[in-house]
Amino acid sequence: MDFKEVLDLILDTDDVTVGGGSASALAGAKACGLIGMVCKLSTKKDFGIAPEKQLEYAKELEELRDKLLAGVVNDANAYGIIRDAYKLPKETEEEKEIRKQAIANAGIVGATSPMENAKLCRRVYDIGIELEGKTNPNCHSDLVIGYELAKIGTNGCLMNIEANLPLVKDEAKINEFKKAIQELKIG
């Protein structure tokens, strides 16, 4: 799927192929746009962070936005891998075992995509918090909306990891995912 297809599916209440993981990554991408705009509107004078640093943040946010937009698609594709694993035949013992392993592998894919997106969203959130009180005061509401979207994106991605965790059978991966959830969660 491409981004346009995924976006259409996020907005389609009758379709179940794209869910909260993609929507959470999209929230993070929107946060990048808002916070980056605030940075660029905070370069006429020093509001507590030098204009050059504001532009550095804006550039980083553009890079994060692009990664998150790709993450929207990656998350939707990860769902497809899980769906396809569940469609595998299960008539014979051998087929059941192959299907079981495919589902476990798909669970890793299904949890890895939102984990990567959560890391990106968390960075966006951290930038937004760092900018609090250090940007053009006329843009304060945009800044707050931006970092609140990044918070929603982060925590939504983490919920998506948790939703896929029961499929994962690899203990090392389970521990990696649980550690990410613990470290990235925003209270």
pLDDT digits (tens, 9 = 90+) for 39-80: 999 999 999 999 999 999 999 999 999 999 999 999 989 989
69-87 burial code (b ≥16 CB/10 A, e <16): bbbbbbbbbbbebbeebee
Q: What is the pTM of this model?
A: 0.93
Quick one: fold of 3-184?
A: Four Helix Bundle (Hemerythrin (Met), subunit A) (1.20.120)
pLDDT reading at 16 higher than 70: no
State the residue for tokens 């843009």. Answer: 139
**pLDDT for res 75:** 92
**Nearest of 122, 123, 108 to residue 157 by alpha carbon:** 122
Neighbours of 54 (CB within 10 A): 25
> What residues have CB less than 8 Å from 70, skipping those under 6 apart?
none
**pLDDT for res 4:** 75
CA dihedral 57, 131, 33, 176 (to 10 degrees): 80
Domain ranges of the chain: 3-184
